[in-house]
Amino acid sequence: MSNPGITTITAKPAPEQTQSCWSCGTMRAVHFCEACGKVQPPAPVDYFTFFALPRKLNLDVAALDKDFYELSRKLHPDLNAQAGSQEQQWSLQQSSLLNDAHRILKDPIKRTEYLLKLEGVELEEQSKTATEQARSTGEIKKQIVPPELLAEVFDLNMQLEELRTQKKMGEDDPALIEEIGNQKHDLEEKQEALLRELESRWKIWDGMIQREHNGQPVSEEERRQERDKMVDVLNRRNYIRNLVRDVTEVLES
Amino acid sequence: MTTDRIVGIDLGTTNSLVAFMQGESPVVIPGDDGSNLVPSVVALDENNQPVIGNAARKHLTETPERAVYSIKRLMGRGIDDVQQELKFFPFRLAEDLQPGEVIRIKLGEKTFTPPEISALILRQLKRNAERFFGAPVTKAVITVPAYFNDAQRQATKDAGRIAGLEVLRLVNEPTAASLAYGLDKKQNGIVAVYDLGGGTFDISILKLHDGIFEVISTNGDTHLGGDDIDNLLITIALDDTLGDLGLDLRRNAEAVQAIRNAVIEAKIALSSQTSVKLDVKLPGGKRYLREITREQFEQLIQPVIDRTVGPCKQALKDAGLKPEQIDEVVLVGGSTRIPKVRALVKELFHRKPHTDLNPDEVVALGAAVQANILGGGSEATENMLLLDVTPLSLGIEVAGGVTDKIILRNSTIPASATQFYTTQIDGQANVAIHVLQGERELAKDCRSLARFDLKGIPAMAAGMARIEVKFLIDANGILHVSAREQRSGKEAEIQVQPSYGLTDEQVESMILDSFDSAEEDFRQRQVIEARNEADTILAALEKGKKSPAWGHLTTDEKKKIAKMEKALTAVKTEDDYQAIRKAIDALNQGTTRLAELMMDTAVSTALKGKTMDEADMGEGPTAPHPMAKAEFE
């Protein structure tokens, strides 16, 4: 990318991916032809490349949105409903790729997870699925409680169990509900703090990518370390997110 | 140009409408009875011919076993889903239904699937549009409740195909309403559309900016609407008659229908009156009388309308918005005329809802706008683009009967997700995939969409195959699946077993008019209409010949007219409507001066250039027009 330091977004084709338009043959074209407006066949690209973005994490979401709307006006199937069937098919594929890319990149967590996946990291997501699987098989879900949360989580789980039992009996203890509500609030604040922590890791990552771009080699070790740090933040955040979800579930049941 | 005209159709639970873009604004096309609304009622007459709309309504009370309403409730539903509906609706299921088969409803001795019944309604709308345009209509945009799942959408698309319509797009009803609203207002902002119709409830929150209508979140209940209110009142009446008179009318379809008509009337009246009196004739000469005050009515319906609260709150939460951030709330659907519903909306969104739009028509009008966009747009719709979302998460069943969500609800569509599968044993050739729709964690609590079998996987050691399966939700909200084995590059064959719904072959065999017979029907109607018009102009000419004006024509003019008259009389008996029209036009041209002379001078100047049949105001043309047919007793 030609703009060091800040992330710029452009819907314009990146030179290395351009070729001639299938229809008019003239202009360089990535998603649609700038000369005749025809939708081009989709290329199997990652989401960053789709938006002609470097693989950096600090991203101007307003600019991304702007590009998203501009591209939607070209690629959406509604606006290509009069085109030939092949072009309609491309419009459907391009448009879904556009929506998928936008959906993932605009969200800070999904964006980070996606980049890590591109970097070859298999995320150990402590997902709801795992919880459910554990529940259905009767096993205790194996997950690593972040050490700084151990005591807190232990207390919270006890209280949640108590509330569940109360609810089953048709009772409600306002004091207990308030206490759990407070803890939920604390957890949400922790979740926010972890997002800030993640953002600070982005800066380091993006700086590393920029260095690499400027011709300074980045060691595989450094790359791995940076990845691992982000994975760690994500895992801790996911853990808290799941906890918040469980608490909400019990409170609203 | 005319053959490519795309209409917008609101296929409603209670009423259906067809609209199109006339110049820069959408208009509803009336039926031949002059009404904009075609009641979604289908009946078979004594000759087993289908009757649709207002004409079918009398069958509901006279021959209820040959009529059906609210069929939309059964679209895309399996027999297990509809048990609740059967308690309240007089749907008569075919006796020989097999498990897993698409439901069939009995009308008289015949049976029909819900898409076939919907197709009859669609065909009526298609005909109304054709009569209006004087040209065939083959393409349509059809609206569906935003919260319709894949099976319900597919069933609607099938209905279109059976009716001989190419369904260019399924549009969500609240989104369509927002298009009509936005076309009118041309304002940026956040709009909530609260759509409580006859049988379905939707809430959609949209961001309108520079012509883009972006749905942020949607929620709803596909079995909640005015029908539920009617059923409450019907149940009370049935209880009353059973309790007070010892008269069990639950199995008496005619009596139930008579009560239903009365309670609907009462419900509607209660939106403007504070009290109504029910008065229904019952079998055995008794009458059912009851006064209902608005207060009682509001108490009664509270639990029904309260069911809209949860979806509204969830939609706001999903959109990440507080009620105060909504700039406008648009009301759609006949049930939003109920003052209590409006009060509830006001309370939910902290503002008075926008009620300028006709809640019965706005969805059809929006569908017409979308039809115009799909047709290439016009000045009015330039820059307009709809970005809609999928209302339900798409998932696949994984180990332990758990749903793994791969496309979350409220994702902008088209949207896709790719999953990788492998084999468990050496040489395994098939992999089964179970696709689900819904928000629940366990597969059994979600809607089963389809079971796929990936077949023809090349023989490999266990775990070696890497099968890429792509799930794509198109702009209609309908799922498509494709698969490829990555190591061999071989396209895996997918056998789709839709959990609910018709196969392609079934739909094919149901198509009401194959394209040819649709053309033939259309041609025949055109011939009849052209002949009627010829008769009109010929009769007008006879009258003209007797008028003093005839004497003012030159011999040459009279000769010419006589020649054209002969030509029209001759061609009239033939089956070529275009030739008849040509002859009519010629005679019209040739009699312009006669028409002028027939008028008094002042009028004649005003009508200069008008032709014979226009000038003869007594007997108008029978050419296609949007007016109701006159009736004479």
For residue B547, the domain's CATH number is 1.20.1270.10
Average confidence (pLDDT) over B360-389:
93
Tell whether B560 and B598 lie within a shared domain.
yes
Give the C-alpha distances (Å, rounded to integers) separating A72 from A99, A237, B75, B191, B627: 9, 33, 32, 21, 41
| Mean pLDDT computed over A37-61 | 90
8 Å CB contact of A95 and B442: no
Confidence at residue B207, expressed as pLDDT on a 0 to 100 scale:
95
- What is the ipTM, given to two decimal places? 0.81
Subunit contact B387:A73, Cβ cutoff 8 A: no
Residues A48/A37, Cβ–Cβ less than 8 Å: no
Query: What is d(CA B558, CA B555) in angstroms, rounded to the nearest whole number?
Result: 5
B442 and A132 within 8 Å at the Cβ level: the answer is yes
Contact B142, B158 (CB under 8 A): no
In a domain, B626, yes or no: no
pLDDT digits (tens, 9 = 90+) for B376-385: 988 888 889 9
The pLDDT tens digits of the residues spanning A112-165 come to: 999 999 988 876 544 444 544 555 554 544 556 777 777 778 888 888 888 888
Of the candidates A81, A100, A129, which has its C-beta nearest B416's C-beta?
A100
Q: Are B135 and B174 in contact (CB under 8 A)?
A: no
Q: Which CATH architecture has domain A15-106?
A: Orthogonal Bundle (1.10)
Is residue B112 located within the same domain as residue B163?
A: yes
Structure tokens of A168? 């089953």
CB pairs under 8 A between A and B: 74
Give B233-237's long-range contacts (Cβ < 8 A, gap of 24+). B233/B263, B233/B266, B233/B267, B233/B292, B233/B300, B234/B88, B234/B259, B234/B260, B234/B263, B235/B88, B236/B300, B237/B263, B237/B278, B237/B280, B237/B288, B237/B290
Chain B residues inside the 8 Å CB shell of A93: 472
Where residue B357 falls (left for φ over 0; alpha for ψ -120 to 50; beta otherwise) is beta
- Answer positive or negative: Cα dihedral of A190, A191, A192, A193: positive
> How far is the alpha carbon of B414 from chain A, nearest alpha carbon, in Å?
5
Percentage of residues in chain A having pLDDT higher than 90: 41
CA–CA min distance B86, chain A (Å): 30
Distance separating alpha carbons of residues B544 and B213, to the nearest angstrom: 57
**Residue A92 and residue B474: Cβ atoms within 8 Å?**
yes
Distance of alpha carbon B115 from alpha carbon B142, whole angstroms: 13
CB within 8 Å of B71: residues ≥ 6 apart: B40, B42, B105, B114, B117, B118, B121
Q: How confident is the model at residue B247 (pLDDT cuts 50, 70, 90)?
A: confident
Q: Are B355 and B182 in contact (CB under 8 A)?
A: no
Whether B25 shows a pLDDT value over 70: the answer reads yes
Closest alpha carbon within chain A to B212: A69
pLDDT digits (tens, 9 = 90+) for B172-182: 999 999 999 88
Subunit contact B441:A100, Cβ cutoff 8 A? no
Q: Is residue B462 part of a domain?
A: yes
Nearest-Cα distance to chain B for A215, in Å, is 35
Residue A176 has pLDDT above 80, yes or no: yes
For A66-90, what is the mean pLDDT? 92
Answer yes or no: is B16 within a domain. yes
| Least trusted range by pLDDT, from A11-20, B100-109, B220-229, B274-283 | A11-20
- Whether residue B632 is contained in a domain is answered as no
Q: What is the domain partition of chain A in residue ranges?
A: 15-106, 139-252
Residue B344, pLDDT score: 96
Nearest to B400 by CA among A130, A11, A109, A216: A130
State yes or no: is B173 an active-site residue.
yes
pLDDT attached to residue B17: 97
* Chain A residues closer than 8 Å to B406 by CB: none
* Dist. CA B587–CA B572, nearest whole Å: 13
Q: For residue B298, give the CATH number of its domain.
A: 3.90.640.10
Q: What pLDDT band is residue B589 in, cutting at 50, 70 and 90?
A: confident
What range does the domain containing B284 cover?
Answer: 226-306
What does residue B181 show for φ and ψ, rounded to 5 degrees? -65, -45
Q: Which pLDDT value is given to residue B631?
A: 35
- Chain B residues whose CB is inside 8 A of the A81 CB are 168-169, 374-376
Note whether B442 contacts A97, CB cutoff 8 Å: no
pLDDT band of residue A59 (cuts 50, 70, 90) is very high
Tokens of B458: 């090349």
d(CA A18, CA A29): 6
pLDDT of residue B495: 57
The pLDDT of residue B601 is 41
Neighbours of B399 (CB within 10 A): 10
B72 is catalytic: yes
Residues of B in contact with A95 (CB under 8 A): 414, 475
- A46-50, A172-176, B406-410: range with lowest mean pLDDT: A172-176
Q: Which of A66, A72, A78 to mutate to test the interface with B (most CBs of B within 10 A)?
A: A78
A97/B374 CB distance under 8 A: no
B301 assigned to some structural domain: yes
Give the other-Cβ count within 10 Å of B52's Cβ: 23
Residue B195 a catalytic site member: yes
| Residues in chain B within 8 Å Cβ distance of A137 | 400
Q: In this structure, are B494 and B555 located in the same domain?
A: no
Q: Which residues pair with B396 in a beta bridge?
A: B404, B435
- The beta strand positions in B298-389, using DSSP E, are 328-332, 385-387
* CA-based nearest distance A120→chain B, Å: 15
Question: Is residue B354 within 8 Å of residue B159, measured between CB atoms?
Answer: no
Q: What is the pLDDT of residue A2?
A: 33
Mean local confidence (pLDDT), B48-76: 91
pLDDT of B499 reads 65
Q: Would residue B33 show up in a list of annotated catalytic residues for this protein?
A: no
Do B112 and B26 have their domain in common? yes
Domain count across chain B: 4
Q: Which residue, among A97, A129, A139, A242, would best test binding to B if mutated, counting the most B CBs under 10 Å from its CB?
A: A129
Task: Identify the pLDDT of residue B620.
Answer: 29
| Residue whose C-alpha is closest to residue B25's, from B135, B169, B186 | B186
Q: Is residue B324 domain-shared with residue B264, that is, in the same domain?
A: no
CATH of the domain at B452: 2.60.34.10
CA distance to partner chain A, nearest, from residue B155 (Å): 21
User: Mean pLDDT lowest for which of B511-525, B562-576, B599-613?
Assistant: B599-613
Across B88-97, average pLDDT:
84
State the pLDDT at residue B602: 35
Contact flag A82-B375 (C-beta cutoff 8 Å) = yes
Question: Which of B116, B130, B150, B195 is labelled catalytic?
Answer: B195
**Using CA atoms, how far apart are residues B359 and B610, in angstroms rounded to an integer?**
40
Q: Which residues, in sequence order, are CB contacts of B234 under 8 Å at separation 6+?
A: B88, B256, B259, B260, B263
Helix (H, G, I), strand (E, B) or coil at B116: helix
CATH number of the domain to which B16 belongs = 3.30.420.40
Domain boundary among B333, B356, B387: B387
Which residues of A fall within a CB distance of 8 Å from B414?
77, 92, 95-96, 99
* pLDDT at B539 > cutoff 80: yes
Tell me the chain A residues in contact with residue B210 when contact means C-beta distances shorter than 8 Å.
69
Residues B456, B596 share a domain: no
Q: In chain B, what residues touch A79 (CB-CB under 8 Å)?
A: 373, 377, 385
Residue B28, pLDDT score: 97
Distance CA B524, CA B518 (A): 10
Q: Contact, B147 vs B438, CB < 8 A?
A: no
Q: Which range is least confidently modeled, B127-131, B353-357, B363-367, B452-456?
A: B452-456
Report chain B's mean pLDDT, rounded to a whole number.
85
C-beta separation of B151 from B498 below 8 A: yes
Checking if the pLDDT of A247 tops 50, the result is yes
Q: Please state, in angstroms and rounded to a whole number, the distance separating the CA atoms of residues A7 and A58.
A: 7
Contact between chains at A82 and B475 (C-beta distance less than 8 A):
no
| Higher-scoring residue by pLDDT: B437, A168 | B437
Same domain, B186 and B259: no
On the question of pLDDT at A11 being above 50, the answer is no
Single out the residue in B357, B387, B417 at which a domain terminates.
B387
- Bigger pLDDT: B589 or A116? A116
Q: Is there a contact between A21 and A33 (Cβ–Cβ < 8 Å)?
A: yes
Angstrom distance (rounded) from CA B345 to CA B99: 41
Top pLDDT among B459 and B115 is at B115
Interchain proximity B370–A78, CB inside 8 Å: yes
Instruction: Check pLDDT > 80 for residue B600.
Output: no
Positive or negative: CA dihedral B98, B104, B110, B115: negative
Q: How far is A79 from chain B (nearest CA, A)?
A: 6
Token pair, residue B269, equals 């009246």
Contact by Cβ (8 Å): A251, A177:
yes
> Which chain B residues contact residue A132 at CB under 8 A?
400, 402, 441-442
Name which of B374, B400, B474 is nearest A81 (Cβ-Cβ).
Answer: B374
CB distance A78–B413 less than 8 Å? no
Residue B288 located in a structural domain:
yes
Residue B1: pLDDT band (50, 70, 90) is: very low
CB contact under 8 A, B398 and A136: no
Of the candidate ranges B168-177, B396-405, B412-421, the one whose mean pLDDT is the lowest = B396-405
Question: Does the structure show a pLDDT above 50 at B289?
Answer: yes
Do the chains contact at B402 and A100, CB–CB below 8 Å? no
At residue A107, the pLDDT reads 95
Residue B603 has pLDDT above 80, yes or no: no
Does B411 contact A72 at a Cβ distance shorter than 8 Å? no
**Which of A67, A96, A109, A117 would best serve as a mutation to test chain B binding (most B beta carbons within 10 A)?**
A96
Token pair recorded at residue B381: 């719709």
Q: Determine the pLDDT at residue B576.
A: 84
Chain B residues in contact with A100 by the CB 8 A cut-off are 415-417
Least confident span in B332-346, B548-562, B617-631: B617-631
Token pair belonging to B451: 């079971």
Between A220-252 and A174-213, two packed helices, what is the crossing angle to 10 degrees? Answer: 160
Residues of chain A contacting B441 with CB distance shorter than 8 Å: 128, 132
* For range B429-433, the mean pLDDT: 82
The arithmetic mean of pLDDT across residues B557-568, rounded, is: 90
Interface of A with B (CB under 8 A): 69, 72-73, 76-79, 81-82, 92-93, 95-97, 99-100, 102-103, 128-129, 132-133, 136-137
B206 with B178: CB under 8 angstroms? yes
Q: Do A78 and B169 lie within an 8 Å CB cutoff?
A: yes
Match 């719709």 to its residue by tokens. Answer: B381
State the catalytic residue, choosing from B116, B150, B173, B529. B173
In a domain, B101, yes or no: yes
Amino acid at site B148: F
More confident residue, A111 or B398: A111
| Range scoring the smallest mean pLDDT among A54-68, B62-76, B290-304, B443-457 | B443-457
- Residue A211 scores a pLDDT above 60: yes
